[in-house]
Amino acid sequence: MNITWYGTASIKITQGKTAILFDPFFSFNPAIHAANIEDFIGVSAIFITHGHFDHIMHLPEIMRYNRCEIYCGPTVSTTLQKLGIPPKNIHSIAHSDAFKIGPLAIQVYKSRHIQFDVRLILQTIFNPRMISKFKNLKTIIPAHCSMPMGEVFAFEIIHKKTNILHFGSLAYDTTEEYPCRPSLLTIPYQGRSDLKEHAMKFIQKFQPKAVCLHHFDDTFPPISSQVDISPLLTTTIPHIPQIHIIVPEYRKAVSI
């Protein structure tokens, strides 16, 4: 399998001619050119981890070039229909569902969204970028209000003996039984002021063979930020040397 990152939580996983897409989104930041519409054309299926605007708002544009189904929770399904996507292209899912897309098996798990801490909220609000990037808020605020989070999922993507455990937000459901020691664990590295400690607990729980970071870039300022990943790297590498840390580059496939 190959995994390609397109900024934010946008991930594409391919095996042969089959390509499945997760949470596609186009950057609001002109300095970041993480994805073009061409990157999302011809995919076999689209999966949504949750309904926040940075995970679904560009789906109407993307679906003009695709005839595939979107797999999402009931709340997101309702939102997407309001955005004009035909119901025939939307497949409502629940945790414990399983699907086969070409050679890939996909297992659905219940998940959670990261809880923003007070320090991060204050740092975001009382930041000069709230003024310099104010024009983005005119898009972000209405989008956030009209696109509720809804159900939150994690996905396991399996091909033969290789499995990827993919999260769209850095949290998990304590009542769910997730696969142990996945070949690859994806970590969305954004949403708290204590990210390093939060991520380390995540890694220690799942004990993956490798970790792929994503969502650490500044694609919708002033709400997002470019997260410094170096503290995590300097902590993880010495203390968990058996786990390979992948810091992906935009639009460059990594073989798993």
pLDDT digits (tens, 9 = 90+) for 141-173: 999 999 999 999 999 999 999 999 999 999 999
**What does CATH list as the number for 2-255?**
3.60.15.10
Q: Please, which pLDDT band fits residue 239 given cuts at 50, 70 and 90?
A: confident
Judged against a pLDDT cut of 90, whether residue 224 lies above it is answered with yes
Q: How far apart are the first and last CA of the chain?
A: 5
| DSSP secondary structure string for all residues of 137-197 | HHHHHHHHHHS---S-EEEEEEETTEEEEEESSS-B-TT--PPSS-SEEEEE--S-TTHHH
pLDDT of residue 237: 66
- What is the Cα–Cα distance from 12 to 27, expressed in whole angstroms? 16
Tell me which amino acid residue 142 is: P
- Across the beta sheet with 2-5, the strand order is 90-92, 69-72, 45-47, 18-22, 11-15, 2-5, 254-255
Percentage of the chain beyond pLDDT 70 is: 99
- Strand 45-47 relative to strand 210-214: parallel, antiparallel, unpaired? unpaired
How much is the mean pLDDT over the chain?
96
Judged against a pLDDT cut of 90, whether residue 15 lies above it is answered with yes
Percentage of the chain beyond pLDDT 90 is: 93
Mean pLDDT value across residues 165-184: 97
Mean pLDDT value across residues 52-76: 97
CA triple 207-152-243, angle to 5 deg? 15
Phi, then psi, of 19 in degrees rounded to 5? -135, 125
pLDDT of residue 241: 75
Judged against a pLDDT cut of 90, whether residue 242 lies above it is answered with no
- What is the Cα–Cα distance from 116 to 220, expressed in whole angstroms? 16
Residue 239 DSSP SS3:
helix
Boundaries of every domain in the chain: 2-255
Q: How many helices, marked H, and strands, marked E, lie in the chain?
A: 8, 14
Q: What is the DSSP letter of 131?
A: H
pLDDT of residue 83: 97
**Nearest partner of 209 among 239, 188, 185, judged by Cα:** 185
Partnered with residue 184 across adjacent β-strands are 164
Judged against a pLDDT cut of 90, whether residue 65 lies above it is answered with yes
